Chain A
């Protein structure tokens, strides 16, 4: 027989090693994290950990004796309170007092928390659940504070915490079981712990191995630095194509590729010359700003929606899609001109659309056969471009020639009116400035620039100058960097850190900071993303090549009567304007289609090479007729017939194929009428067709599945989902015994005939009694009924037992115990149980899953 006190000492030691020590470790980890967020903690997590550790150790040891908790803990709190008051009065100078009292408060809180936890872990087995829940929630809170929910963080922060929680609950229970049995053996405890660790390791490895691909995918989608070529301006699709990100947040670094994304012909030249006038290519506008995560986002509800984002992949070849809304929004602007562009996509996603501001029409076109290896899709777009939006006006460069040129624009814009007569809603929306205090410093700078300048354009120039300022040594203060890093304190504003600390970053940082300052000055503004356009060509005038590193963000400022004008504030990214690889040859531009008719083949004659189609879509030069029902007779003797990018023979066509017939014959196109029937009457029949496109059904289908899958889900919602799922599962498991009871009751009610119903009631009643802690065990039903049930509930259960036995083993049908009798006994039985055992007790007993298992095990032999 071991000495009781040695056992107690061992138990104390085991508590310290297995419960208190891990808790201290986890607390240290969380304190270290918390110190990054709260200035009041003043970054001394190690000493804070000592406070906490001291508290929990003392608490654990102290309360392993029979010390009364309420009194002692109240005394401790009282002592701290008096001491705190004393320190407050004892002020050497104010700062010191604040510092000391602050320090003391942190100490007092952490120490008492430690004592409290030490007490709980020592005295109550279930306290471990409270402790682990506390730590778990605290860690989730801290994680959410960082704003960056990367898969890596989740794995490396949450999983250890979850592990700790499971470990603590498990171990504390084991400890208390040992204590109850008054025996303590290290061997047993270590064996169990070892088993637990092995099991946990096995499980987590299994999960990681099984879900490797999913985790990898998620990391690629959400992670910041894990993926290899992660261009923060471009989003990479699964098939390797790219498009602009549809939101923009401040990240640690930006890796740029230099592959060709697309090339474009912009039909814009300086008046009276063949000198190309480049225009920035725009994808989206970011009008909303998420203060917490410092993310710029698109907003489908922006006022006067002037964003044109068609999906060229969905538009039939040569069909035109036009946004009247966009067109209307530009009507009142001055200095506009019509510009046509042709975009040939290489890496750019099929559904992406980029064009100079403001595009209002798109028309998918074909790529010439020789260039089909290089360029996959192409479209033509029409834009109404402000003459003040030439790339040369926008560039932020030190080149004095360009700077001189830009003065013209500034002069013109100085004529612009102020914002007095502008729609209030519009103005409020585009001048929204986050109220969070962390952006106050932007406001201060903006206010000083605002006061010094009167005209809007001068204020914008002042911001640009602010970024261009030089220190007394003549060095530029702000510089370009693809790797500015994130602030050391995860809670700090990344934009502020860029603006006031590191002073280096890429376009996202410049555009974001500029936007904040513009809005602080009440100038309506937004961020545009797309591609920077640089004229690098000598031979192919009007052709521009766009590489991955030209993905760009800049600001747009609204000027009354002039509309949205682009301003690029990014410092010194001249290198991006220089091509790293020589530009290729531009693709041959297809001639403009004069007649396009598409429809199903109704008649096919391979001998005379004639096809008749029933067309529902007809384009004549610029005029488009939809939903028509017109028969056309094509002569395809000289036509090339395409299926995807392959030439096929006329014999490959079959009836009911959907084809698009195109004629490039300019001679056909001099008839100015707008009437469909008149045009058709003018056209020769059969019509000489130059190209026939056999349409695959691909484009007719609805949105691809992939796209639906791509709807971004935030990591938070995933965690929340998993969490809720787990909760539901746990709830379901806990509710299982009750559900089973209800199933038995239901089966009793649905049972047919006295025999079956009696059997069902037998199962129902024995199950119910078993769950309430009265298992039948090895007793026969009669014994069980008279010895236990009757004694406890006095509900005539033995009468049922007798009748049940009779029904079971006698061929003599009984008369006195019929269906209705059984039915009424069912309610007698149930209510007798409810009377004898209060709801609270019953509820508790229905949480004993082990009883349920035992019940089923005892019947498993049958």
Chain B
């Protein structure tokens, strides 16, 4: 294909190494969550934000912290604990009167960073939530007459507890659409859990002593390179088929938007890049489909939740698998 740029092999190998090191660093701390780690890195490389959902204490925050600690080269990490009394200005920043200049100066809030951990995002009021999400979407903040651009690399890891829990403000579907992925954490298996229990002190120490393995520039370069990963027309067709199928499936109330298709493709490229491939394959679709699409859909009934998307995915994967090439 003409629009893809040739990637120098050595360059790819070099960057792969840093990305791989990032992954290795994360897995030192986060045990038994390889898939989730992959998804988070994919999202980072794709240039999107992730929402992590599960019960408290499953390692969401630790993952975000580890990620931040692993990226060096001046990467700023901020963490905001969302509470119901949090105000937007606590997030964006506020004007403070500068006595020297006798003027109000804009004091940047925690949003002006490279990696933001928005903990328990569903505990904050909708006002704060929308302020955050708007900033995430626009990559800039407008306060009064001033517009402040966010950092080039701005990656939000939001976590939330399942919506059924008390004192939470569920995110509306439109807001959810802005997250590239929603990652379910889940519990680890028995073996890993035992390992965690016996080594938790060790792991804690490791987290404290964690060295950064990748710098900001590497991440931005990885993002650029990932955008050049080849996507076969049949894969594009498959993405389109899946997205369109969600809109007509009888079990789905609200289907996926064209934006989600674009996001899907970006993520596929990043995932292939992460897996050291120069092209996207059907396994990538299988790995990402749920993380990318599921939170964007509204189902007619709760029972049909998994079945509908699974069915659509299986049909498409089956088509791709048997695809005749010659």
Answer whether A and B are interacting partners: yes
B-binding residues in A (CB < 8 A): 753, 755-756, 758-759, 776, 778, 780-783, 805-812, 858-859, 861-862
A858 — which chain B residues lie within 8 A by C-beta? 318, 322
Given contacts A778-B314, A782-B283, A858-B318, contact A812 B323 (CB under 8 A): no
Determine whether the beta carbon of A810 is less than 8 Å from that of B278. yes
Q: Which one of A756, A776, A780, A812 lies within 8 Å of B282 (CB-CB)?
A: A780
The A/B interface has a contact count, at CB < 8 Å, of: 66
CA distance A37 to B319 in the complex (A): 66
Determine whether the beta carbon of B282 is less than 8 Å from that of A805. yes
B319 — which chain A residues lie within 8 A by C-beta? 861-862
Closest-CB distance, A701 to chain B (whole angstroms): 54
A810 — which chain B residues lie within 8 A by C-beta? 230, 232, 278-279
Given contacts A805-B282, A809-B234, contact A755 B326 (CB under 8 A): yes
Tell me the nearest residue of chain A to B7, going by C-beta.
A812
B317 — which chain A residues lie within 8 A by C-beta? 778, 780
Tell me the nearest residue of chain B to A861, going by C-beta.
B318
The answer to whether the Cβ of B321 comes within 8 Å of any Cβ in the partner chain is: yes
Determine whether the beta carbon of B283 is less than 8 Å from that of A862. no
A782 — which chain B residues lie within 8 A by C-beta? 281, 283
CA distance A780 to B286 in the complex (A): 8
Chain B CB within 10 Å, residue with most, of A755, A780, A782: A780
A758 — which chain B residues lie within 8 A by C-beta? 325
CA distance A781 to B321 in the complex (A): 7
The answer to whether the Cβ of B302 comes within 8 Å of any Cβ in the partner chain is: no
CB 8 Å contact bits of B276-318 with A (1 = contact, 0 = none): 0011111100100000000000000000000000000011011
Determine whether the beta carbon of B323 is less than 8 Å from that of A808. yes
A783 — which chain B residues lie within 8 A by C-beta? 283, 286
The answer to whether the Cβ of B324 comes within 8 Å of any Cβ in the partner chain is: yes
CA distance A809 to B281 in the complex (A): 6
CA distance A780 to B321 in the complex (A): 7
The answer to whether the Cβ of B265 comes within 8 Å of any Cβ in the partner chain is: no
Determine whether the beta carbon of A809 is less than 8 Å from that of B279. yes
CA distance A858 to B315 in the complex (A): 10
Given contacts A778-B317, A809-B235, contact A862 B1 (CB under 8 A): no
A808 — which chain B residues lie within 8 A by C-beta? 232, 281, 323, 325
Determine whether the beta carbon of B279 is less than 8 Å from that of A862. no
CA distance A755 to B325 in the complex (A): 6
Closest-CB distance, B310 to chain A (whole angstroms): 9
Tell me the nearest residue of chain B to A782, going by C-beta.
B283
Which residues in chain B, 197-231, are within 8 Å of chain A measured between CB atoms? 230
Closest-CB distance, A778 to chain B (whole angstroms): 5
CA distance A805 to B317 in the complex (A): 13
Determine whether the beta carbon of B286 is less than 8 Å from that of A862. no
CA distance A758 to B321 in the complex (A): 13
Q: Which one of A780, A811, A859, A861 lies within 8 Å of B315 (CB-CB)?
A: A861
CA distance A781 to B234 in the complex (A): 16
Tell me the nearest residue of chain A to B4, going by C-beta.
A811
CA distance A810 to B233 in the complex (A): 10
B230 — which chain A residues lie within 8 A by C-beta? 809-812
Closest-CB distance, B318 to chain A (whole angstroms): 6
Closest-CB distance, B134 to chain A (whole angstroms): 37
A859 — which chain B residues lie within 8 A by C-beta? 322
B318 — which chain A residues lie within 8 A by C-beta? 778, 858, 861-862
Closest-CB distance, A496 to chain B (whole angstroms): 73
Determine whether the beta carbon of A812 is less than 8 Å from that of B325. no
A781 — which chain B residues lie within 8 A by C-beta? 282, 321
CA distance A810 to B317 in the complex (A): 17
Q: Which one of A778, A809, A861 lies within 8 Å of B280 (CB-CB)?
A: A809
A805 — which chain B residues lie within 8 A by C-beta? 281-283
B234 — which chain A residues lie within 8 A by C-beta? 809
Determine whether the beta carbon of A806 is less than 8 Å from that of B321. no
Closest-CB distance, A205 to chain B (whole angstroms): 41
By Cβ-Cβ distance, the 7 closest A-B pairs, closest first, are A810-B279, A756-B326, A809-B232, A805-B281, A862-B322, A859-B322, A780-B283
CA distance A753 to B326 in the complex (A): 8
B278 — which chain A residues lie within 8 A by C-beta? 810, 812
B281 — which chain A residues lie within 8 A by C-beta? 780, 782, 805, 808-809
